[in-house]
Amino acid sequence: MRGPSMRLSRKAGWLLGAYAATMLSGLSARAAEDTIKVGILHSLSGTMAISETTLKDAMLMLIDEQNKKGGLLGKKLEAVVVDPASDWPLFAEKARQLIAQDKVAATFGCWTSVSRKSVLPVFKELNSILFYPVQYEGEESERNVFYTGAAPNQQAIPAVDYLMKEGVQRWVLEGTDYVYPRTTNKILEAYLKSKGVAAEDIKVNYTPFGFSDWQTEVSAIKDFSGSGKKTAVVSTVNGDANVPFYKELANQGVSAETTPVMAFSVGEEELAGIDTAPLVGHLAAWNYFESVDTPANEEFIAKWKEFTKDPKRVTNDPMEASYIGFNMWVKAVEAAGTTDPDKVIDAMVGVAVPNLSGGYSSMGANHHITKPVLIGEIQADGQFEIVDQTPGLVLGDAWSDYLPESAPLIADWRKPMSCGNFNTKTGKCGGADAKAASN
């Protein structure tokens, strides 16, 4: 009697355990179905953490706010945060993890162009959506990417125009050695020469990521600016290399009066780690500054300080680009009634949401947005005084008019064209040459 009873008991126990496991699995699956996962792909360690950690925090705030409004499509949003650690190949690996394993509906991430280039094949292969929130070099328009940072015509070209109005005749193009500075400077060289600037009045120099020994480079800038012509530095130096760069400028007496620096990758976050008193008057070109005086910006700053529980935390341009991109995605998902990438991609074109500078930014058919262009002067408190601004919003141009290989190209992802590099001369999708077609 005892033996069969024991066997029955074990069988019942096994069945009960299997049933419980099935129930738990079902509950877990239903829980997953009740949330929409959002990928956050920003470096939280390494040389770019100084810039990217803030964007991770900004995305967490935006997701938290959306959940307080009731979520999206009746579901809560769930942030999935990964750290690609300023390692460009690791960005692709982490992107694949987010899409294939974590099943995110969209990803917000990358800072450097080399990290963006690393993940592009993954987003195309797996047909997922990336929102890229940082200024970049252009020469690209991908169906699976929405570019909410500035293209060169929304930052670099207006910055040079401003410096020309201020009487600058000689140009130092100083950058970190990777694709964004090199391509941007290629565009700027062509633009400057089209404006009559002689080749000998343009100096180009690159240093590695994380570069710290700036004495020789700054000395060369001083020598170049000693010709009697007013000289400016156009800086595409990126990441934590900016801290020793600006310190060495101050050490060697390179002031805004003698040789102003116009930066494209230095904002409030980067200045928080620098003694800004000697840098007063140096410049930056962005589409947003914390000092923008609008009710929308005042509310955003208050929410940011409350969310971070740090009254000293600053805002910056890529945060606003993340804010715009996230709100555009929410609106497109609501319009499509689904997070299905194909339907959301189609719904994105034409979406308009408030920006923080006043007015609305809209998504163009080339997957770039409309933005104002602002020039700011560094103040002693680490903020920027806005000294110049475009009268209206500027649509990002995916392909530069100043490079012969890209001048004939346009991007239009609306049907029936659905092309990121349509050649207006040949009437074909595929670009001007093999190099352009690969973008």
Nearest C-alpha neighbor of 242 from the set 204, 203, 284, 281 = 284
Q: Which amino acid is at 97?
A: Q
Element holding 381 (H helix, E strand): none
Report the pLDDT value the prediction gives residue 385, as an integer from 0 to 100. 97
State the residue for tokens 């803030």.
Answer: 54
Q: What is the pLDDT of residue 276?
A: 87
Return the domain boundaries, the chain: 153-286, 404-439
CB burial of residue 222 (10 Å; 0-12, 13-18, 19+): middle
Closest to 39 measured CA to CA, from 341, 295, 284, 263: 341
CA–CA gap between residue 127 and residue 121 (Å, rounded) = 10
pLDDT of 432: 52
Q: What is the 3-state secondary structure (H, E, C) of 247-294?
A: HHHHHCCCCCCCCCEEECCCCHHHHCCCCCHHHCCCEEEECCCCCCCC
Specify the CATH number of the domain 153-286: 3.40.50.2300
pLDDT score, position 10: 45
Q: What is the DSSP string of 24-36?
A: HHHHHHHHHHTEE
Residue 142, number of CB atoms within 10 A of its CB: 20
Structure confidence at residue 436 (pLDDT): 37
Task: List 107's β-bridge partners, or say none.
Answer: 39, 130
Sorted by sequence, the CB contacts under 8 Å of residue 224 that are 6+ apart come out as 170, 172, 203, 231
| Adjacent-strand bridge partners of 78 | 37
Please tell me the predicted confidence (pLDDT) of residue 439: 35
Compute the half-sphere exposure of residue 4: CA atoms within 13 Å on the CB side of its CA. Answer: 1
- Geometric angle at alpha carbon 156, from 163 and 164, rounded to 5°: 15
Q: Could you say which residues of the chain have pLDDT below 70? A: 1-32, 273, 432-439
Whole-Å CA distances, 420 to 175, 177, 186, 279, 412? 28, 26, 21, 41, 6
Residue type, 290: E
